[in-house]
Protein backbone atom coordinates (compact mmCIF):
# COMPACT_ATOMS: atom_id res chain seq x y z
CA UNK A 1 0.00 0.00 0.00
CA UNK A 2 1.01 3.60 -0.57
CA UNK A 3 1.22 6.31 2.06
CA UNK A 4 -0.88 9.46 1.77
CA UNK A 5 1.80 11.65 0.13
CA UNK A 6 2.31 9.06 -2.63
CA UNK A 7 -1.43 8.77 -3.18
CA UNK A 8 -1.63 12.56 -3.54
CA UNK A 9 1.29 12.48 -5.97
CA UNK A 10 -0.45 9.85 -8.11
CA UNK A 11 -3.69 11.84 -8.08
CA UNK A 12 -1.84 14.97 -9.19
CA UNK A 13 -0.16 13.06 -12.02
CA UNK A 14 -3.51 11.85 -13.35
CA UNK A 15 -5.09 15.26 -12.94
CA UNK A 16 -2.26 16.90 -14.83
CA UNK A 17 -2.41 14.27 -17.57
CA UNK A 18 -6.08 15.02 -18.11
CA UNK A 19 -5.63 18.80 -18.08
CA UNK A 20 -2.67 18.70 -20.48
CA UNK A 21 -3.98 15.74 -22.50
CA UNK A 22 -0.58 14.16 -21.98
CA UNK A 23 -0.90 10.54 -20.72
CA UNK A 24 1.48 9.23 -18.07
CA UNK A 25 3.18 5.86 -17.65
CA UNK A 26 1.29 3.05 -15.87
CA UNK A 27 1.09 3.74 -12.15
CA UNK A 28 2.45 0.33 -11.14
CA UNK A 29 5.79 1.29 -12.68
CA UNK A 30 5.81 4.62 -10.88
CA UNK A 31 4.43 3.59 -7.49
CA UNK A 32 5.66 0.19 -6.35
CA UNK A 33 3.11 -1.75 -4.33
CA UNK A 34 0.02 0.20 -5.46
CA UNK A 35 -3.14 -1.85 -4.88
CA UNK A 36 -6.88 -1.44 -5.46
CA UNK A 37 -7.44 0.27 -2.10
CA UNK A 38 -4.81 2.84 -3.02
CA UNK A 39 -6.43 3.24 -6.44
CA UNK A 40 -9.89 3.99 -5.04
CA UNK A 41 -8.39 6.54 -2.64
CA UNK A 42 -6.55 8.18 -5.56
CA UNK A 43 -9.80 8.28 -7.53
CA UNK A 44 -11.58 9.93 -4.59
CA UNK A 45 -8.85 12.55 -4.20
CA UNK A 46 -9.49 13.73 -7.75
CA UNK A 47 -13.28 13.54 -7.40
CA UNK A 48 -13.08 15.69 -4.26
CA UNK A 49 -10.87 18.13 -6.15
CA UNK A 50 -13.53 18.47 -8.87
CA UNK A 51 -16.35 18.86 -6.37
CA UNK A 52 -14.41 21.58 -4.56
CA UNK A 53 -14.15 23.39 -7.91
CA UNK A 54 -17.94 23.33 -8.31
CA UNK A 55 -18.66 20.08 -10.14
CA UNK A 56 -21.25 17.61 -8.81
CA UNK A 57 -21.84 13.88 -8.86
CA UNK A 58 -24.61 12.82 -11.26
CA UNK A 59 -24.17 9.06 -10.93
CA UNK A 60 -21.75 6.18 -11.08
CA UNK A 61 -20.41 3.74 -13.65
CA UNK A 62 -19.41 0.10 -13.46
CA UNK A 63 -16.42 -1.19 -15.38
CA UNK A 64 -15.04 -4.67 -16.02
CA UNK A 65 -18.54 -6.09 -15.89
CA UNK A 66 -17.88 -8.97 -18.30
CA UNK A 67 -16.05 -12.21 -17.35
CA UNK A 68 -13.68 -11.72 -20.32
CA UNK A 69 -12.55 -8.29 -19.11
CA UNK A 70 -12.23 -9.49 -15.52
CA UNK A 71 -10.02 -12.38 -16.64
CA UNK A 72 -7.89 -10.02 -18.72
CA UNK A 73 -7.35 -7.76 -15.70
CA UNK A 74 -6.88 -10.64 -13.27
CA UNK A 75 -9.80 -9.66 -11.03
CA UNK A 76 -12.95 -11.42 -9.84
CA UNK A 77 -15.35 -8.50 -9.64
CA UNK A 78 -16.08 -5.25 -11.50
CA UNK A 79 -14.77 -1.82 -10.59
CA UNK A 80 -16.53 1.55 -10.46
CA UNK A 81 -16.10 5.25 -11.03
CA UNK A 82 -18.02 8.50 -10.67
CA UNK A 83 -20.10 10.37 -13.24
CA UNK A 84 -20.01 14.14 -12.95
CA UNK A 85 -22.09 17.01 -14.31
CA UNK A 86 -19.10 18.18 -16.35
CA UNK A 87 -19.11 14.83 -18.18
CA UNK A 88 -22.63 15.28 -19.61
CA UNK A 89 -22.64 15.25 -23.42
CA UNK A 90 -25.45 15.95 -25.86
CA UNK A 91 -26.54 14.49 -29.17
CA UNK A 92 -26.82 17.91 -30.80
CA UNK A 93 -23.40 19.15 -29.65
CA UNK A 94 -20.31 17.70 -31.38
CA UNK A 95 -17.54 16.51 -29.07
CA UNK A 96 -13.98 17.79 -29.69
CA UNK A 97 -11.67 14.78 -29.87
CA UNK A 98 -8.69 17.02 -29.07
CA UNK A 99 -10.09 17.49 -25.55
CA UNK A 100 -9.23 13.86 -24.71
CA UNK A 101 -6.15 11.65 -24.70
CA UNK A 102 -7.36 8.51 -26.50
CA UNK A 103 -11.18 8.56 -26.60
CA UNK A 104 -13.36 5.50 -27.16
CA UNK A 105 -17.09 4.83 -26.91
CA UNK A 106 -18.95 2.01 -25.19
CA UNK A 107 -22.57 0.91 -25.60
CA UNK A 108 -24.58 0.76 -22.37
CA UNK A 109 -28.09 0.55 -20.96
CA UNK A 110 -28.34 3.30 -18.37
CA UNK A 111 -30.53 3.28 -15.25
CA UNK A 112 -32.03 6.59 -14.10
CA UNK A 113 -33.08 6.23 -10.47
CA UNK A 114 -36.45 7.50 -9.31
CA UNK A 115 -35.69 6.64 -5.68
CA UNK A 116 -32.65 6.00 -3.52
CA UNK A 117 -31.29 2.46 -3.58
CA UNK A 118 -30.56 0.53 -0.40
CA UNK A 119 -26.92 -0.19 0.29
CA UNK A 120 -25.99 -3.51 1.86
CA UNK A 121 -28.33 -6.23 0.70
CA UNK A 122 -29.47 -4.38 -2.44
CA UNK A 123 -31.12 -6.82 -4.86
CA UNK A 124 -32.15 -6.82 -8.50
CA UNK A 125 -35.75 -6.39 -7.32
CA UNK A 126 -34.70 -3.26 -5.40
CA UNK A 127 -33.03 -1.87 -8.52
CA UNK A 128 -36.07 -2.46 -10.71
CA UNK A 129 -38.40 -0.93 -8.13
CA UNK A 130 -36.23 2.19 -7.79
CA UNK A 131 -35.53 2.73 -11.50
CA UNK A 132 -37.60 5.48 -13.11
CA UNK A 133 -36.46 4.55 -16.61
CA UNK A 134 -33.79 2.67 -18.50
CA UNK A 135 -32.12 4.66 -21.27
CA UNK A 136 -29.96 4.08 -24.34
CA UNK A 137 -26.48 5.37 -23.54
CA UNK A 138 -23.05 5.88 -25.00
CA UNK A 139 -20.20 6.26 -22.55
CA UNK A 140 -17.12 8.15 -23.68
CA UNK A 141 -14.10 6.56 -22.04
CA UNK A 142 -10.54 7.85 -22.04
CA UNK A 143 -7.26 6.80 -20.47
CA UNK A 144 -4.85 9.17 -18.86
CA UNK A 145 -2.43 6.21 -18.94
CA UNK A 146 -0.31 6.10 -22.10
CA UNK A 147 -1.49 3.77 -24.89
CA UNK A 148 -4.24 2.26 -22.71
CA UNK A 149 -1.58 0.09 -21.00
CA UNK A 150 -3.74 -0.21 -17.92
CA UNK A 151 -3.78 -2.54 -14.95
CA UNK A 152 -6.71 -2.74 -12.55
CA UNK A 153 -5.04 -0.14 -10.30
CA UNK A 154 -4.58 2.23 -13.25
CA UNK A 155 -8.20 2.17 -14.39
CA UNK A 156 -9.62 2.49 -10.87
CA UNK A 157 -7.34 5.40 -9.99
CA UNK A 158 -8.28 7.00 -13.33
CA UNK A 159 -11.98 7.06 -12.34
CA UNK A 160 -12.61 3.78 -14.17
CA UNK A 161 -11.44 5.50 -17.39
CA UNK A 162 -14.61 7.61 -17.46
CA UNK A 163 -14.76 10.81 -19.50
CA UNK A 164 -18.33 11.52 -20.64
CA UNK A 165 -21.78 10.16 -21.41
CA UNK A 166 -24.89 10.82 -23.47
CA UNK A 167 -28.32 9.27 -22.90
CA UNK A 168 -31.63 9.03 -24.75
CA UNK A 169 -35.19 9.12 -23.44
CA UNK A 170 -35.73 5.47 -22.53
CA UNK A 171 -38.70 3.73 -20.94
CA UNK A 172 -39.83 2.03 -17.74
CA UNK A 173 -37.89 -1.16 -16.91
CA UNK A 174 -41.07 -3.24 -16.64
CA UNK A 175 -41.63 -2.68 -20.37
CA UNK A 176 -38.45 -4.58 -21.33
CA UNK A 177 -36.68 -7.87 -20.78
CA UNK A 178 -33.48 -6.27 -19.53
CA UNK A 179 -31.52 -9.48 -20.06
CA UNK A 180 -32.39 -9.70 -23.77
CA UNK A 181 -31.81 -6.26 -25.29
CA UNK A 182 -29.76 -6.43 -28.50
CA UNK A 183 -27.39 -3.54 -29.14
CA UNK A 184 -25.38 -2.42 -32.15
CA UNK A 185 -22.84 0.35 -32.60
CA UNK A 186 -22.63 1.90 -36.05
CA UNK A 187 -20.64 4.61 -37.78
CA UNK A 188 -22.55 5.66 -40.85
CA UNK A 189 -23.39 2.45 -42.70
CA UNK A 190 -20.67 0.44 -40.94
CA UNK A 191 -21.53 -1.83 -38.01
CA UNK A 192 -18.62 -1.62 -35.58
CA UNK A 193 -19.79 -3.80 -32.70
CA UNK A 194 -22.81 -5.71 -31.47
CA UNK A 195 -23.84 -7.44 -28.28
CA UNK A 196 -26.64 -8.18 -25.86
CA UNK A 197 -27.49 -6.79 -22.46
CA UNK A 198 -26.86 -10.07 -20.65
CA UNK A 199 -23.14 -9.61 -21.41
CA UNK A 200 -23.23 -7.35 -18.33
CA UNK A 201 -23.03 -9.80 -15.40
CA UNK A 202 -25.89 -11.78 -16.96
CA UNK A 203 -28.29 -8.91 -16.18
CA UNK A 204 -27.43 -5.19 -16.14
CA UNK A 205 -29.72 -4.72 -13.13
CA UNK A 206 -27.47 -7.17 -11.23
CA UNK A 207 -24.54 -4.88 -11.99
CA UNK A 208 -26.41 -1.92 -10.48
CA UNK A 209 -27.24 -3.97 -7.38
CA UNK A 210 -23.56 -4.97 -7.05
CA UNK A 211 -22.59 -1.31 -7.25
CA UNK A 212 -25.08 -0.27 -4.57
CA UNK A 213 -23.75 -2.94 -2.20
CA UNK A 214 -20.12 -2.13 -2.96
CA UNK A 215 -20.21 1.64 -2.50
CA UNK A 216 -22.19 1.19 0.72
CA UNK A 217 -18.95 -0.07 2.29
CA UNK A 218 -17.61 3.47 1.88
CA UNK A 219 -20.74 5.20 3.18
CA UNK A 220 -21.96 6.08 -0.35
CA UNK A 221 -25.55 5.62 -1.56
CA UNK A 222 -26.97 5.61 -5.07
CA UNK A 223 -29.54 8.41 -4.98
CA UNK A 224 -32.73 9.47 -6.70
CA UNK A 225 -31.91 11.23 -9.97
CA UNK A 226 -28.56 9.49 -10.41
CA UNK A 227 -27.62 7.81 -13.67
CA UNK A 228 -26.00 4.40 -13.32
CA UNK A 229 -24.05 2.94 -16.22
CA UNK A 230 -23.74 -0.80 -15.47
CA UNK A 231 -21.14 -1.78 -18.07
CA UNK A 232 -20.79 -2.16 -21.80
CA UNK A 233 -22.80 -4.54 -23.98
CA UNK A 234 -20.06 -4.47 -26.63
CA UNK A 235 -16.33 -3.93 -27.02
CA UNK A 236 -15.04 -0.35 -26.84
CA UNK A 237 -14.38 1.42 -30.15
CA UNK A 238 -11.86 4.18 -30.89
CA UNK A 239 -13.46 7.40 -32.13
CA UNK A 240 -12.30 9.77 -34.85
CA UNK A 241 -13.01 13.40 -35.61
CA UNK A 242 -15.61 14.01 -38.28
CA UNK A 243 -17.59 10.87 -37.54
CA UNK A 244 -20.88 10.08 -35.78
CA UNK A 245 -21.36 6.94 -33.67
CA UNK A 246 -24.83 5.56 -32.98
CA UNK A 247 -25.85 2.92 -30.46
CA UNK A 248 -29.21 1.31 -31.22
CA UNK A 249 -31.07 -0.93 -28.77
CA UNK A 250 -34.11 -3.14 -29.34
CA UNK A 251 -36.98 -1.65 -27.38
CA UNK A 252 -35.06 1.49 -26.44
CA UNK A 253 -34.04 3.08 -29.71
CA UNK A 254 -30.87 4.96 -30.68
CA UNK A 255 -28.52 7.48 -29.16
CA UNK A 256 -25.64 9.17 -30.99
CA UNK A 257 -22.46 11.17 -30.47
CA UNK A 258 -20.69 13.21 -33.15
CA UNK A 259 -17.01 14.14 -32.96
CA UNK A 260 -15.07 17.04 -34.43
Query: What is the four-CA torsion angle of 185, 191, 196, 200, rounded to 10 degrees?
Result: -50
pLDDT at 158: 96
Is it the case that residue 219 has pLDDT exceeding 90?
Answer: no
Is it the case that residue 107 has pLDDT exceeding 60?
Answer: yes
Nearest partner of 31 among 74, 2, 71, judged by Cα: 2
Is it the case that residue 243 has pLDDT exceeding 90?
Answer: yes
Nearest partner of 79 among 124, 37, 109, 47, judged by Cα: 37
Mean pLDDT of 81-89: 97
70: pLDDT confidence band, cut at 50, 70 and 90?
low
Mean pLDDT of 40-63: 96
Distances in Å between the alpha carbon of 91 and those of 65, 126, 196, 229, 245? 26, 31, 23, 18, 10
Is it the case that residue 76 has pLDDT exceeding 80?
Answer: no
Write out pLDDT tens, residues 31-44.
999 999 999 999 99
Report the distance separating Cα 85 and Cα 92, nearest Å: 17
pLDDT at 217: 87
Mean pLDDT of 67-81: 68
Mean pLDDT of 48-58: 97
Is it the case that residue 68 has pLDDT exceeding 60?
Answer: no
Decide: 95 and 257 in contact? Cβ < 8 Å.
yes
Percent of the chain with pLDDT over 90: 86
Write out pLDDT tens, residues 181-207.
999 999 999 999 999 999 898 999 999
64: pLDDT confidence band, cut at 50, 70 and 90?
confident
Mean pLDDT over all residues of the chain? 93
pLDDT at 71: 62
pLDDT at 242: 97
Amino acid sequence: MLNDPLRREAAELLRGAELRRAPVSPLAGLFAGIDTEDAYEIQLLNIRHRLAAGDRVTGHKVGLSSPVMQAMMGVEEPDYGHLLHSMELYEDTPVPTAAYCAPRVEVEIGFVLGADLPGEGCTVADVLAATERVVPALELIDSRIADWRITIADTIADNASSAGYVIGEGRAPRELDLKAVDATLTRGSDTLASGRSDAVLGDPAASVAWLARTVARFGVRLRKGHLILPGSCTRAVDVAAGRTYTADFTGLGPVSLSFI
